[in-house]
Amino acid sequence: MKKAKTPPPTAQDKTKWRRRIIRIFANFHLWLLLILLIGGFILQYPQIIPFTDTLDPNSFLSLSRHSFGRLIMLLPITYAALVFGIRIGLLVLLVAIATIVPNLFILEIPITSDDIIEIIGIVIIGLVTNLWLESYETDKSHRQVAYLRLENAQRELQRMQQNLRFYLKQITIAQEEERRRIAQELHDDTAQDLIAISRKIDGYMSLHPTLSSSDEAYFEDVHQHLNRTLSSVRRFSQDLRPSVLDDLGLIPAIEWLAPELDKHFKFKSEVKIQGKPRRFPVETELVFFRIVQESLRNIGKHAVASRVWLTIEFSAQGTILTIKDNGRGFHPPERIGDLAVSGKLGLTGMQERARLIGANFNIESTPGQGTLVTVELPNSSKFEEHAY
Protein backbone atom coordinates (compact mmCIF):
# COMPACT_ATOMS: atom_id res chain seq x y z
CA MET A 1 0.00 0.00 0.00
CA LYS A 2 1.17 3.47 -0.83
CA LYS A 3 1.65 5.80 2.08
CA ALA A 4 -0.52 8.86 2.14
CA LYS A 5 1.37 11.98 1.24
CA THR A 6 1.86 14.47 4.03
CA PRO A 7 0.11 17.70 3.09
CA PRO A 8 2.45 20.66 2.68
CA PRO A 9 2.52 23.12 5.60
CA THR A 10 0.06 25.92 5.30
CA ALA A 11 0.78 29.58 5.88
CA GLN A 12 -0.90 29.29 9.27
CA ASP A 13 1.40 26.41 10.26
CA LYS A 14 4.45 28.40 9.19
CA THR A 15 3.24 31.35 11.26
CA LYS A 16 2.82 29.13 14.34
CA TRP A 17 6.33 27.70 13.96
CA ARG A 18 7.76 31.18 13.46
CA ARG A 19 6.07 32.38 16.66
CA ARG A 20 7.37 29.37 18.59
CA ILE A 21 10.93 30.03 17.42
CA ILE A 22 10.63 33.69 18.36
CA ARG A 23 9.34 32.75 21.84
CA ILE A 24 12.23 30.32 22.31
CA PHE A 25 14.89 32.87 21.37
CA ALA A 26 13.15 35.52 23.47
CA ASN A 27 13.39 33.31 26.58
CA PHE A 28 15.70 34.99 29.11
CA HIS A 29 16.33 31.73 30.99
CA LEU A 30 17.56 30.04 27.82
CA TRP A 31 20.17 32.73 27.20
CA LEU A 32 21.29 32.68 30.83
CA LEU A 33 21.66 28.89 30.64
CA LEU A 34 23.79 29.22 27.49
CA ILE A 35 25.98 31.82 29.20
CA LEU A 36 26.53 29.48 32.16
CA LEU A 37 27.43 26.60 29.83
CA ILE A 38 29.81 28.77 27.83
CA GLY A 39 31.41 30.01 31.06
CA GLY A 40 31.94 26.45 32.24
CA PHE A 41 33.36 25.49 28.84
CA ILE A 42 35.81 28.39 28.94
CA LEU A 43 37.04 27.31 32.37
CA GLN A 44 37.46 23.75 31.07
CA TYR A 45 39.49 24.72 28.01
CA PRO A 46 41.46 27.88 28.82
CA GLN A 47 44.40 26.60 26.78
CA ILE A 48 42.48 26.87 23.50
CA ILE A 49 40.63 30.11 24.25
CA PRO A 50 42.70 33.31 24.23
CA PHE A 51 42.98 35.58 27.27
CA THR A 52 41.48 32.92 29.66
CA ASP A 53 44.59 31.00 30.61
CA THR A 54 45.48 33.69 33.14
CA LEU A 55 42.49 32.77 35.35
CA ASP A 56 43.80 31.07 38.46
CA PRO A 57 41.10 30.03 41.02
CA ASN A 58 43.83 28.40 43.10
CA SER A 59 44.80 31.83 44.36
CA PHE A 60 41.52 32.33 46.22
CA LEU A 61 39.75 28.92 46.32
CA SER A 62 42.63 26.47 46.74
CA LEU A 63 41.32 24.61 43.67
CA SER A 64 42.92 23.77 40.38
CA ARG A 65 41.58 25.47 37.28
CA HIS A 66 40.07 22.22 36.01
CA SER A 67 38.47 21.27 39.36
CA PHE A 68 36.96 24.73 39.58
CA GLY A 69 35.64 24.41 36.02
CA ARG A 70 34.04 21.06 36.80
CA LEU A 71 32.30 22.48 39.88
CA ILE A 72 31.10 25.48 37.88
CA MET A 73 29.30 23.06 35.52
CA LEU A 74 26.93 22.26 38.40
CA LEU A 75 25.42 25.74 37.98
CA PRO A 76 23.89 25.21 34.50
CA ILE A 77 22.83 21.68 35.49
CA THR A 78 20.95 22.94 38.57
CA TYR A 79 19.57 26.00 36.79
CA ALA A 80 18.27 23.93 33.87
CA ALA A 81 16.55 21.46 36.21
CA LEU A 82 15.06 24.28 38.27
CA VAL A 83 13.74 26.33 35.34
CA PHE A 84 13.06 23.82 32.56
CA GLY A 85 12.49 20.54 34.41
CA ILE A 86 14.23 17.19 34.65
CA ARG A 87 14.44 16.51 30.89
CA ILE A 88 16.44 19.64 30.10
CA GLY A 89 18.35 19.22 33.36
CA LEU A 90 19.52 15.72 32.36
CA LEU A 91 20.31 16.96 28.86
CA VAL A 92 22.51 19.72 30.28
CA LEU A 93 24.14 17.12 32.57
CA LEU A 94 25.06 15.06 29.50
CA VAL A 95 26.40 18.18 27.79
CA ALA A 96 28.48 18.97 30.88
CA ILE A 97 29.93 15.44 30.99
CA ALA A 98 30.61 15.61 27.27
CA THR A 99 32.50 18.84 27.94
CA ILE A 100 34.48 17.59 30.94
CA VAL A 101 35.55 14.09 29.83
CA PRO A 102 37.42 15.03 26.60
CA ASN A 103 39.42 17.56 28.57
CA LEU A 104 40.99 14.72 30.58
CA PHE A 105 42.64 13.40 27.43
CA ILE A 106 43.72 16.83 26.21
CA LEU A 107 45.63 17.58 29.40
CA GLU A 108 49.32 16.77 29.38
CA ILE A 109 49.21 15.64 33.01
CA PRO A 110 48.17 12.12 34.03
CA ILE A 111 44.58 11.41 35.09
CA THR A 112 44.31 11.02 38.87
CA SER A 113 41.74 9.38 41.09
CA ASP A 114 40.63 12.86 42.20
CA ASP A 115 39.67 13.67 38.63
CA ILE A 116 37.56 10.52 38.39
CA ILE A 117 35.98 11.19 41.79
CA GLU A 118 35.16 14.78 40.79
CA ILE A 119 33.46 13.66 37.59
CA ILE A 120 31.53 10.90 39.37
CA GLY A 121 30.57 13.40 42.08
CA ILE A 122 29.30 15.86 39.49
CA VAL A 123 27.23 13.11 37.85
CA ILE A 124 25.78 12.01 41.19
CA ILE A 125 25.09 15.57 42.36
CA GLY A 126 23.55 16.43 38.99
CA LEU A 127 21.29 13.38 39.07
CA VAL A 128 20.29 13.92 42.71
CA THR A 129 19.62 17.60 42.06
CA ASN A 130 17.45 16.82 39.04
CA LEU A 131 15.55 14.10 40.86
CA TRP A 132 15.06 16.23 43.97
CA LEU A 133 13.83 19.23 41.99
CA GLU A 134 11.52 17.00 39.97
CA SER A 135 10.18 15.47 43.19
CA TYR A 136 9.75 18.95 44.66
CA GLU A 137 7.87 20.19 41.60
CA THR A 138 5.71 17.05 41.61
CA ASP A 139 4.91 17.52 45.29
CA LYS A 140 4.22 21.19 44.65
CA SER A 141 1.90 20.27 41.80
CA HIS A 142 0.16 17.70 43.99
CA ARG A 143 -0.21 20.26 46.76
CA GLN A 144 -1.66 22.77 44.33
CA VAL A 145 -4.11 20.15 43.07
CA ALA A 146 -4.99 19.26 46.67
CA TYR A 147 -5.48 22.94 47.56
CA LEU A 148 -7.60 23.41 44.45
CA ARG A 149 -9.71 20.40 45.34
CA LEU A 150 -10.01 21.66 48.90
CA GLU A 151 -11.12 25.09 47.67
CA ASN A 152 -13.63 23.45 45.34
CA ALA A 153 -14.88 21.29 48.21
CA GLN A 154 -15.19 24.36 50.43
CA ARG A 155 -17.08 26.24 47.72
CA GLU A 156 -19.33 23.23 47.21
CA LEU A 157 -19.89 23.00 50.96
CA GLN A 158 -20.73 26.71 51.11
CA ARG A 159 -23.10 26.28 48.18
CA MET A 160 -24.77 23.33 49.90
CA GLN A 161 -25.02 25.31 53.14
CA GLN A 162 -26.56 28.23 51.26
CA ASN A 163 -29.03 25.88 49.59
CA LEU A 164 -29.78 24.27 52.94
CA ARG A 165 -30.41 27.65 54.54
CA PHE A 166 -32.59 28.65 51.60
CA TYR A 167 -34.65 25.46 51.93
CA LEU A 168 -34.80 25.93 55.70
CA LYS A 169 -35.98 29.50 55.21
CA GLN A 170 -38.67 28.36 52.79
CA ILE A 171 -39.75 25.62 55.20
CA THR A 172 -39.84 28.14 58.06
CA ILE A 173 -41.89 30.57 55.96
CA ALA A 174 -44.29 27.78 54.99
CA GLN A 175 -44.52 26.67 58.62
CA GLU A 176 -45.30 30.19 59.81
CA GLU A 177 -47.88 30.65 57.07
CA GLU A 178 -49.52 27.40 58.12
CA ARG A 179 -49.47 28.52 61.74
CA ARG A 180 -51.04 31.80 60.72
CA ARG A 181 -53.74 29.99 58.76
CA ILE A 182 -54.54 27.57 61.60
CA ALA A 183 -54.56 30.39 64.15
CA GLN A 184 -56.91 32.38 61.93
CA GLU A 185 -59.23 29.40 61.49
CA LEU A 186 -59.22 28.70 65.22
CA HIS A 187 -60.08 32.33 65.89
CA ASP A 188 -62.63 32.81 63.12
CA ASP A 189 -64.28 29.38 63.03
CA THR A 190 -63.66 27.19 66.06
CA ALA A 191 -63.78 29.96 68.67
CA GLN A 192 -66.87 31.51 67.09
CA ASP A 193 -68.61 28.13 66.99
CA LEU A 194 -67.86 27.59 70.67
CA ILE A 195 -69.20 31.06 71.47
CA ALA A 196 -72.36 30.30 69.48
CA ILE A 197 -72.87 27.01 71.36
CA SER A 198 -72.34 28.79 74.68
CA ARG A 199 -74.94 31.42 73.76
CA LYS A 200 -77.41 28.78 72.68
CA ILE A 201 -77.06 27.11 76.06
CA ASP A 202 -77.60 30.47 77.76
CA GLY A 203 -80.63 31.08 75.55
CA TYR A 204 -82.05 27.65 76.23
CA MET A 205 -81.69 28.14 79.99
CA SER A 206 -83.37 31.56 79.71
CA LEU A 207 -86.31 30.09 77.79
CA HIS A 208 -86.74 27.28 80.31
CA PRO A 209 -86.62 28.84 83.77
CA THR A 210 -88.42 25.82 85.23
CA LEU A 211 -85.50 23.42 84.69
CA SER A 212 -84.81 21.07 87.51
CA SER A 213 -81.80 21.74 89.67
CA SER A 214 -80.01 18.69 88.22
CA ASP A 215 -80.63 19.85 84.63
CA GLU A 216 -79.56 23.37 85.50
CA ALA A 217 -76.36 22.05 87.10
CA TYR A 218 -75.69 19.92 84.03
CA PHE A 219 -76.06 22.84 81.61
CA GLU A 220 -73.96 25.02 83.88
CA ASP A 221 -71.20 22.40 83.86
CA VAL A 222 -71.37 22.20 80.05
CA HIS A 223 -71.27 25.99 79.87
CA GLN A 224 -68.14 26.15 82.05
CA HIS A 225 -66.50 23.39 80.04
CA LEU A 226 -67.20 25.33 76.85
CA ASN A 227 -65.68 28.47 78.35
CA ARG A 228 -62.53 26.56 79.36
CA THR A 229 -62.30 25.06 75.88
CA LEU A 230 -62.78 28.49 74.35
CA SER A 231 -59.98 29.89 76.53
CA SER A 232 -57.71 27.02 75.48
CA VAL A 233 -58.51 27.57 71.79
CA ARG A 234 -57.79 31.28 72.10
CA ARG A 235 -54.53 30.61 73.93
CA PHE A 236 -53.53 28.00 71.35
CA SER A 237 -54.35 30.44 68.56
CA GLN A 238 -52.20 33.13 70.20
CA ASP A 239 -49.35 30.66 70.66
CA LEU A 240 -49.47 29.72 66.99
CA ARG A 241 -49.40 33.31 65.77
CA PRO A 242 -50.15 36.15 68.19
CA SER A 243 -52.08 38.90 66.47
CA VAL A 244 -50.26 41.50 68.59
CA LEU A 245 -47.03 40.63 66.74
CA ASP A 246 -48.57 41.41 63.36
CA ASP A 247 -50.53 44.41 64.59
CA LEU A 248 -48.11 46.17 66.97
CA GLY A 249 -44.68 44.62 66.46
CA LEU A 250 -41.97 42.81 68.41
CA ILE A 251 -41.78 44.78 71.67
CA PRO A 252 -45.52 44.72 72.48
CA ALA A 253 -45.62 41.04 71.50
CA ILE A 254 -42.82 40.17 73.95
CA GLU A 255 -44.37 42.32 76.67
CA TRP A 256 -47.59 40.35 76.15
CA LEU A 257 -45.87 36.95 75.93
CA ALA A 258 -43.76 37.16 79.09
CA PRO A 259 -46.65 37.60 81.58
CA GLU A 260 -48.64 34.88 79.80
CA LEU A 261 -45.85 32.34 80.26
CA ASP A 262 -45.25 33.61 83.81
CA LYS A 263 -48.73 32.43 84.71
CA HIS A 264 -48.30 29.09 82.98
CA PHE A 265 -44.83 28.15 84.29
CA LYS A 266 -44.90 29.95 87.66
CA PHE A 267 -41.77 32.07 87.28
CA LYS A 268 -41.26 35.84 87.41
CA SER A 269 -39.93 37.49 84.25
CA GLU A 270 -38.66 41.02 83.75
CA VAL A 271 -38.59 42.69 80.31
CA LYS A 272 -36.14 45.56 79.82
CA ILE A 273 -35.76 47.68 76.68
CA GLN A 274 -32.56 49.71 76.20
CA GLY A 275 -32.03 52.29 73.49
CA LYS A 276 -34.55 53.54 70.96
CA PRO A 277 -36.75 50.67 69.73
CA ARG A 278 -37.16 50.25 65.99
CA ARG A 279 -39.18 48.03 63.71
CA PHE A 280 -37.76 45.16 61.68
CA PRO A 281 -39.11 43.24 58.69
CA VAL A 282 -41.84 40.75 59.57
CA GLU A 283 -39.57 37.71 59.24
CA THR A 284 -36.92 39.27 61.52
CA GLU A 285 -39.42 40.18 64.24
CA LEU A 286 -40.92 36.71 63.95
CA VAL A 287 -37.50 35.09 64.48
CA PHE A 288 -36.84 37.20 67.59
CA PHE A 289 -40.31 36.39 68.93
CA ARG A 290 -39.94 32.63 68.34
CA ILE A 291 -36.54 32.60 70.05
CA VAL A 292 -38.00 34.39 73.09
CA GLN A 293 -41.01 32.08 73.09
CA GLU A 294 -38.91 28.91 72.81
CA SER A 295 -36.41 30.13 75.44
CA LEU A 296 -39.12 30.92 77.99
CA ARG A 297 -40.76 27.56 77.39
CA ASN A 298 -37.42 25.76 77.80
CA ILE A 299 -36.87 27.63 81.06
CA GLY A 300 -40.34 26.68 82.29
CA LYS A 301 -39.97 23.02 81.32
CA HIS A 302 -36.34 22.26 82.18
CA ALA A 303 -34.54 25.03 84.08
CA VAL A 304 -36.57 25.01 87.34
CA ALA A 305 -36.03 28.77 87.48
CA SER A 306 -37.84 31.36 89.57
CA ARG A 307 -36.57 34.50 87.79
CA VAL A 308 -36.03 35.39 84.15
CA TRP A 309 -34.43 38.60 82.84
CA LEU A 310 -35.16 39.49 79.23
CA THR A 311 -33.31 42.44 77.67
CA ILE A 312 -33.43 43.95 74.19
CA GLU A 313 -30.71 46.50 73.49
CA PHE A 314 -30.93 48.77 70.44
CA SER A 315 -27.73 50.57 69.42
CA ALA A 316 -26.01 52.01 66.37
CA GLN A 317 -24.05 48.77 65.98
CA GLY A 318 -27.04 46.44 66.08
CA THR A 319 -29.65 44.78 68.26
CA ILE A 320 -28.84 42.39 71.10
CA LEU A 321 -31.41 40.11 72.73
CA THR A 322 -30.44 38.39 76.00
CA ILE A 323 -32.49 35.91 78.03
CA LYS A 324 -31.06 34.96 81.43
CA ASP A 325 -32.50 32.70 84.12
CA ASN A 326 -31.47 31.55 87.59
CA GLY A 327 -32.25 27.90 86.91
CA ARG A 328 -30.15 24.80 87.32
CA GLY A 329 -28.15 25.24 84.09
CA PHE A 330 -26.32 22.52 82.17
CA HIS A 331 -23.08 21.74 80.36
CA PRO A 332 -23.43 23.12 76.81
CA PRO A 333 -21.37 21.40 74.08
CA GLU A 334 -18.73 23.20 72.04
CA ARG A 335 -21.07 23.24 69.04
CA ILE A 336 -24.73 24.05 69.55
CA GLY A 337 -25.62 21.75 66.67
CA ASP A 338 -24.44 18.79 68.80
CA LEU A 339 -27.44 19.38 71.09
CA ALA A 340 -29.67 17.85 68.43
CA VAL A 341 -28.04 14.46 69.06
CA SER A 342 -29.08 14.60 72.72
CA GLY A 343 -32.63 15.56 71.81
CA LYS A 344 -32.34 19.30 72.60
CA LEU A 345 -33.83 20.39 69.29
CA GLY A 346 -35.17 23.66 70.67
CA LEU A 347 -31.75 25.30 71.03
CA THR A 348 -30.64 24.00 67.64
CA GLY A 349 -33.81 25.38 66.09
CA MET A 350 -33.18 28.78 67.69
CA GLN A 351 -29.67 28.86 66.26
CA GLU A 352 -30.91 28.01 62.77
CA ARG A 353 -33.61 30.68 62.99
CA ALA A 354 -31.00 33.24 64.02
CA ARG A 355 -28.81 32.31 61.05
CA LEU A 356 -31.71 32.90 58.68
CA ILE A 357 -31.68 36.62 59.50
CA GLY A 358 -27.89 36.92 59.73
CA ALA A 359 -27.79 37.01 63.54
CA ASN A 360 -25.23 35.41 65.86
CA PHE A 361 -26.60 32.95 68.42
CA ASN A 362 -24.72 32.04 71.58
CA ILE A 363 -25.55 30.15 74.75
CA GLU A 364 -23.66 30.15 78.05
CA SER A 365 -24.58 27.91 80.95
CA THR A 366 -23.07 26.50 84.11
CA PRO A 367 -24.70 23.85 86.31
CA GLY A 368 -26.29 25.57 89.29
CA GLN A 369 -25.79 29.08 87.87
CA GLY A 370 -28.45 29.38 85.21
CA THR A 371 -28.32 29.94 81.46
CA LEU A 372 -27.74 32.97 79.23
CA VAL A 373 -29.00 33.03 75.63
CA THR A 374 -27.71 35.86 73.40
CA VAL A 375 -28.85 36.81 69.91
CA GLU A 376 -26.91 39.61 68.21
CA LEU A 377 -28.15 41.12 64.94
CA PRO A 378 -25.73 43.58 63.27
CA ASN A 379 -27.28 46.67 61.75
CA SER A 380 -28.12 46.45 58.06
CA SER A 381 -30.40 48.08 55.55
CA LYS A 382 -33.03 45.42 56.14
CA PHE A 383 -34.71 46.93 59.20
CA GLU A 384 -37.26 49.67 58.92
CA GLU A 385 -36.04 52.99 60.30
CA HIS A 386 -39.00 54.06 62.36
CA ALA A 387 -39.68 53.93 66.07
CA TYR A 388 -42.61 52.44 67.89
Of the candidates 163, 160, 169, 162, the residue with the CA atom closest to the CA atom of residue 356:
169
| CA pair distance 111, 115, nearest whole angstrom | 6
Superfamily grouping for domain 248-388: Histidine kinase-like ATPase, C-terminal domain (3.30.565.10)
Q: What is the pLDDT of residue 151?
A: 92
Strands 307-314 and 268-274: parallel
User: What single-letter DSSP state applies at residue 4?
Assistant: P
Strands 371-378 and 268-274: unpaired
Which residues, in sequence order, are bridge partners of residue 1?
Answer: none
Return the H-helix or E-strand segment holding 268: strand 268-274
Strands 307-314 and 318-325: antiparallel
10-residue averages of pLDDT along the chain (388 residues) = 60 69 74 81 66 52 65 83 83 83 65 73 84 83 88 91 81 82 85 88 83 84 88 83 85 91 89 92 90 92 92 93 93 74 74 89 91 90 46
Q: Which residues contact 183 (CB under 8 A, 6 or more apart)?
A: 237, 238, 240, 241
Q: What is the pLDDT of residue 110?
A: 64
H-only helix segments in the chain: 11-25, 28-44, 58-61, 65-72, 74-84, 86-106, 113-185, 191-207, 213-240, 243-248, 250-265, 282-298, 345-356
The residue extents of the domains of the chain are 25-153, 248-388
Q: What is the pLDDT of residue 61?
A: 52
Q: What is the pLDDT of residue 306?
A: 92
Q: What is the pLDDT of residue 388?
A: 47
Q: What is the pTM of this model?
A: 0.58
